[in-house]
Structure 1
Amino acid sequence: MKNSLLLEALETLDKNERRAFGRFVRSPFFNLREDVAQLYDYLSECLWVHNVVPEKEQAFRRLFGRAEYDDHRIRVAMSFLLKLLERYFQYLVQSENEAGNGLARARAYRRRQLTRHFHRSLRAAKKSGEQEPYRSAGFFYWRFQLQVEEYRFQASRKRAAEFNLQSITHSLDTYFCSAKLRQACLALSHQAVYRASYGLGMLAELLAFLEGNELLELPAVAIYYHCYRALSEPEQGSHFTQFKELLFEQGHLFSLPEQQDLYLLGINFCTRRYNEGDDSYLKSQLELYEKGLKQGLFVHESRLSRFTYRNITTLGLILEEYEWVEQFLYAYRETLEPEYRQSMFNFGLARLEYSRKEYGKALQLLQLANFREPLLHLSARAIVLKIFYELQETGPLEAQMEALRVFLRRKKVVAYHRENYGNLLKYIRRLMELAPGNRKEREVLKEEILAEKALAERAWLLEQLNLP
């Protein structure tokens, strides 16, 4: 049974869900097969009492005694149990969606032509749905579906009457525009990172339709409209500004997962602009991170990704927000995965102390850290090289350069990183060999550094040339 779909799904159940699913399995409304109920009891005992994964042959003996082993028979029982588990998962999802359940009740009463029941459920569904805090595309799709049920009920009784067709059109337009623009934003953002190419269908017609349209007054449409325009026309800074303002002022109208997507769209946009030489968005990027952190958008199950931790630290250091970075490093230290916590914290603090030119503290922190990841190890070594170069301590610098050269040669380092840091060593050597006061030689070296495709610490190397 190891690696079976059934066991993989069962292992996701928590203690309360196990008991509830046990009742679900034994309910004659859902299951009439005793062997399936017995199989669940047996698997529960194995998985959560004895912590063992049984073989199919063992399960067969428990269910069917001394009968000759039949692989098909045990597979059928497993299949039935998996289908029951899938129905249980569906029930859990549906039970969380009160607005969707109200729509389903109204539809059921309409189909049975129960007028009073329909009107009662329709009123309840409207009240429940309108009380929902979110006004994203999903809300307008729910409203559209409910309005369609109301129209169908009315149309089945009145041939000539004023129906709610205009309301249906408005809800459908809102849903479609919001969902289409959201998909376009995600596609454009993904396309920029992974160099993919996506056709966006009738998006051009949609954008033309929205020009001057009152739908742009709705956050569900406006926030994705300005996001898309910012992504597709990055030189038009006004669209990003409007997107960010809408996100900060109206972000609460979207679910937390959707808010996270929106914040990441904004953050990734700022990163791309910086990589293209425009640093005017860095402050906005830090604001997005700050607000997202306050709302818990980047912390999942009490864990902040070590990559996010490092990216935020880098951004704060670029902006020279040293006090803020220090507060951040300490505040989110405990949210890091235990196996990376100390190394990531020490590395971040070392970078901070290096930026403050507290070189002794930085070196001490780097010596304390145990970097498991090769890239983090390389980054730490680069800081050490920069410190000794800036202190003009040639002996220690030569020793560290040789140590890095040996590391690149002997360790399993990705070819791209080997080239990056190999070139760093090359250009530090070139810096050391520069004749004092030879401006022309420095300008030639600057052009070489700029032209190098794979090069770690490019900005730092350029700074050491002291050229405009």
Structure 2
Amino acid sequence: MQNSQLILILSSLSKKENRELRKWLVSPIHNQRSDVVQLYEYLTSGNRLEDDKSLEKERIYRKLYPKEAYDDARMRQVIHFLQESTEAYLIYAKGQEDSLLNQINLVKSFRERKLEKLYDKAMKRLEQDFLEFPYRNEDYLDKAYWLEKEKSEQISEKRSQVSNYQEMSDQVEISFITRKLKLACVMLSHQKIYKTTYNLGLLEGVLQYLQVQPALLQQPSIKLYYHFYNLFKFPDEEFHFFEIKQVLSSSEHLFDPLERKDIYLMIINYCISRMNIGFKVFVREAFEFYRKAIESRIIIENGILNHLAFRNIVAIGTTLKEFDWVSQFIKVYQQYLSPEYRENFVKFALARLYFEQGDYDRAQDLLIQFDIDDILINLTAKTMLIRLYYEKDEFTALEFLLDSMRTYINRKKMLAYHKMSFKELISASKRLIKIQYNDKKRIEVLYNQITNSRTLPSHMKEWFLEQLKKLRR
């Protein structure tokens, strides 16, 4: 039974869910078989779900039916009934999370039973709960349609000339357009990363429709994803970014935490893409969005902060010389890193902080200790060492580092377009350390090479140009 569906499901349950499931199983309305309860109690006691011997069918059968010979068909039957009851509990538990849907179903039940007074009272309460519901996400928009549909059924049964078809149509429209725009954003993002192509179907018609129905763009969800789509499609049209900021400023509270997390990550990724091609204003924008995401804890999922987000926050914060904030961030939020990443990423973060503060000795000690399997992070650490050795005039160590980097890069086949960037970085560094003070010709040649580079990261471009300006003096 070790890899059975039942064991996988039971292993995923929390303590609270286990308590509720037991109550579910002993209730005769959900289960009338005592052996199903016995099987559940056997499996969930001690550490049997993790012990292969305890999960042997013959051993379990002897516990359930001590006086009977092993019957595999009967064993499979009791397993099936326990899994069926467990799945029914999970469906029920998930349904209990959706208060609006439950109320819609209750109103529907009252209507079908011709309980008009109860229907009217429940409908009034339901409409009030819709008004007070905190979010206006796609799930809410779908239920708003089902509410209008339920009203329509009641109107139809009364054979009234009044109808709410327009309201139903409006809700369907808002829900569909929101979902279509949101999905288009996801598809564009995925398309860019994985070099695939999607057919966006009716999207072009939706965009044209929004041009002739601008009132729909006042809906926060439609406005947000409309500008996100255009931002991904036309990244140079930065006014879409500021429109997104305006929507979030006025309506962020209308999106639930999971959706807000996705929204923040999309906007941060856009900021980083603009930073990487030299648009400095987006360094501050990325920092502020990261700071809000951290302070509201929306990017800490199940108690874990993604190690790459941790690294990015430190990198952007130190670039802006927000040293006190970054120092406090490392101190407080390192506990949220997964244990397998914590030590190395904290070392890396502190090394960057010390380096940007000019404490080269402490930064060097940490960077030399730094060792992680991630190729790009390793190369980023070595890039910091390039700057550090140069700033400290340790040119022998720098030459050795550059040669070892070149060997390392040539061995790694999966670097793709990053390989060109790091090769140019090594080449430019070797040329820089050979330039003598005030050698105007060489300085000019390297200055032009750096300025025209399309592969060097913007922060390294700035550093090279700064060193060349010092050599001109």
Give the TM-score category using the shorter length: 0.7 to 0.9
2:371 is equivalent to residue 358 of structure 1: no
Give the secondary-structure state (helix, strand or coil) at the position aligned to 1:59.
helix
Change (3 A) 1:251 1:172: same
Q: Displacement of 1:401 after TM fit? A: 4.6
Alignment partner, residue 7 of structure 1: 7
Give the secondary-structure state (helix, strand or coil) at the position aligned to 1:332.
helix
Any stretches of 5+ residues in structure 2 without a counterpart?
none
Q: Which moved more, 1:249-258 or 1:375-384?
A: 375-384
Change (3 A) 1:286 1:30: same
Alignment partner, residue 306 of structure 2: 305
1:222-261 aligned at under 5 Å gives the runs 222-261=223-262
Q: Which moved more, 1:426-435 or 1:138-147?
A: 426-435
Paired AA for residue 267 in structure 1: I
- Structure 1 distance, partners of 2:129, 2:351, is 53
- Structure 1 distance, partners of 2:322, 2:380, is 21
Q: Displacement of 1:67 after TM fit? A: 4.2
Q: Deviations over 1:252-284 (max 9, x none)?
A: 111000111111111122222333443432222
Change (3 A) 1:413 1:80: farther
- Structure 2 distance, partners of 1:105, 1:34, is 32
Alignment partner, residue 39 of structure 2: 39
Alignment partner, residue 465 of structure 2: 463
Is the Cα–Cα contact under 8 Å of residues 423 and 456 in structure 1 kept in the other structure? Answer: no
- Structure 1 distance, partners of 2:462, 2:73, is 66
1:22-37 aligned at under 5 Å gives the runs 22-37=22-37
Q: Deviations over 1:43-99 (max 9, x none)?
A: 012536996652222222222335444444323322222221111111111112111
2:293 is equivalent to residue 322 of structure 1: no
2:149 is equivalent to residue 148 of structure 1: yes
- Structure 1 distance, partners of 2:415, 2:236, is 31
- Structure 2 distance, partners of 1:94, 1:437, is 74
Paired AA for residue 39 in structure 1: L
1:7-406 aligned at under 5 Å gives the runs 7-47=7-47, 53-65=54-66, 67-158=68-159, 160-211=160-211, 212-367=213-368, 369-375=369-375, 376-401=377-402
Change (3 A) 1:448 1:86: farther
Q: Which moved more, 1:32-41 or 1:96-105?
A: 32-41
Q: Displacement of 1:23 after TM fit? A: 1.7
Q: Displacement of 1:113 after TM fit? A: 3.0
Q: Which moved more, 1:199-208 or 1:53-62?
A: 53-62
Is the Cα–Cα contact under 8 Å of residues 244 and 266 in structure 1 kept in the other structure? Answer: no
Q: Which moved more, 1:251-260 or 1:39-48?
A: 39-48
Is the Cα–Cα contact under 8 Å of residues 21 and 85 in structure 1 kept in the other structure? Answer: yes
- Structure 2 distance, partners of 1:110, 1:215, is 33
Q: Which moved more, 1:311-320 or 1:369-378?
A: 369-378
- Structure 2 distance, partners of 1:72, 1:430, is 77
Give the secondary-structure state (helix, strand or coil) at the position aligned to 2:281.
coil
Is the Cα–Cα contact under 8 Å of residues 354 and 362 in structure 1 kept in the other structure? Answer: yes
Paired AA for residue 4 in structure 2: S
Q: Displacement of 1:414 after TM fit? A: 5.9
Q: Displacement of 1:27 after TM fit? A: 1.8
TM-score by length of 2: 0.87
TM-score by length of 1: 0.88
Q: Deviations over 1:297-354 (max 9, x none)?
A: 1112332111100011122233343343333222322222234323322211211221
CA RMSD of aligned residues (A): 3.1
Q: Which moved more, 1:296-305 or 1:59-68?
A: 59-68
Change (3 A) 1:71 1:422: farther
Give the secondary-structure state (helix, strand or coil) at the position aligned to 1:258.
helix
Give the secondary-structure state (helix, strand or coil) at the position aligned to 2:158.
coil
Q: Displacement of 1:446 after TM fit? A: 6.2
Any stretches of 5+ residues in structure 1 without a counterpart?
none
Q: Displacement of 1:145 after TM fit? A: 0.3
1:426-445 aligned at under 5 Å gives the runs 426-434=427-435, 437-441=438-442
Q: Displacement of 1:453 after TM fit? A: 6.3
Alignment partner, residue 416 of structure 1: 415
Is the Cα–Cα contact under 8 Å of residues 147 and 164 in structure 1 kept in the other structure? Answer: yes
- Structure 2 distance, partners of 1:169, 1:287, is 39
Q: Which moved more, 1:286-295 or 1:436-445?
A: 436-445
Paired AA for residue 198 in structure 2: Y
Paired positions, count: 464
Change (3 A) 1:424 1:220: closer
